[in-house]
Amino acid sequence: MNSGGQRTPAVTVVDYGIGNLSSALKAFEHIGASVELTDDPQSIASASAVVLPGVGSFGPTMSALRDLGLDSAISSFIDSGRPFLGICVGMQVLYESSEESPGVDGLGVLQGTVRALRGSVKVPQMQWNTIELVADGSGLFTGLGDQPWLYFVHSYAGEVSDHTTAICDYGEQFSAAVRKGNVFATQFHPEKSGASGLRILSNFVSLAANHS
């Protein structure tokens, strides 16, 4: 409980003022999660669990986060060890940089540069695709099977690394999901991925509840 006697939200969704973030909020509401949308750095830094949805591109997203002081709040939250989930561009900004926005620093939680999708494929990838689970997601993928179908909308992606928990093949293999300690991230949009995506969000809420 907070000082006002209200229940502390289980999930705090970061509002950085770009695009329509309501789909993520509605998805958490649909699964019965206690959730709030905020652009207040203090609320984010003190939250129980934080979700950074992805709408837009790398450079403008980082600019918006920095202008609002949300980059520091997110970094402080991640350092606290509490559960964090990045979605699409919200995953990409966890890296050090992106080919999409040369010269723009990311949050640097994950090493490396986000690369443009390569190969003889239509870009952006805007479709349902399967992912292959390749490492421990610490419960994020419970109940999904080995190759669930999920919805992607992107032109850039992180390369496969030691932190990759799921891969997708679209012209080449890339990280469909990663995990580094308390940080989870997906290149696909779970909030737009039907029952499988809702199960992932529900699993994240369970992780947050178990952590609190």
pLDDT for 2 equals 41
Q: Is 168 a catalytic residue?
A: no
The pLDDT value given to residue 138: 85
- Catalytic residue of the set 96, 99, 189, 211: 189
Residue 162 lies in a domain: yes
pLDDT in tens, the chain (212 residues): 344 444 446 899 999 988 778 889 999 999 999 999 999 999 999 999 999 998 789 999 999 999 999 999 999 999 999 999 999 999 999 999 999 999 999 999 999 999 999 989 999 999 999 999 998 878 999 999 889 999 999 999 999 999 999 999 999 999 999 999 999 999 999 999 999 999 999 999 999 998 86
Residues 171, 120: Cα–Cα separation, whole Å: 6
State the pLDDT at residue 145: 86
What per-residue confidence (pLDDT) applies to 65? 97
Q: How many domains does the chain divide into?
A: 1
CA 95 to CA 93: how far, in whole Å? 5
Distance in angstroms (rounded) separating the CA atoms of residues 150 and 167: 12
Give the pLDDT of residue 193: 97
On whether residue 132 sits in a domain, the answer given is yes
Name the strand (E) or helix (H) holding 163. Answer: none
User: Which member of 29, 88, 96, 100 is catalytic?
Assistant: 88
Residue 66's SS3 state is helix
Annotation says 88 is catalytic: yes
Question: Which CATH number is 29's domain given?
Answer: 3.40.50.880
Does residue 90 fall inside a structural domain?
A: yes
Q: Is 198 inside a domain boundary?
A: yes
The pTM of this model reads 0.94
Phi first, then psi, for residue 42 (nearest 5°) are: -65, -40
Annotated active-site residue 191? The verdict is yes
Domain annotation covers residue 3: no
Helix (H, G, I), strand (E, B) or coil at 90: helix
Q: Answer whether residue 6 is part of any domain.
A: no
d(CA 174, CA 167): 6
39: containing domain = 11-211
Task: From 152, 156, 154, select the one nearest 127 (Cα to Cα).
Answer: 152
Q: Is 60 a member of any domain?
A: yes
> Would residue 164 count as lying in a domain?
yes
Q: What pLDDT was estimated at residue 119?
A: 86
Catalytic: which of 100, 172, 191, 211? 191
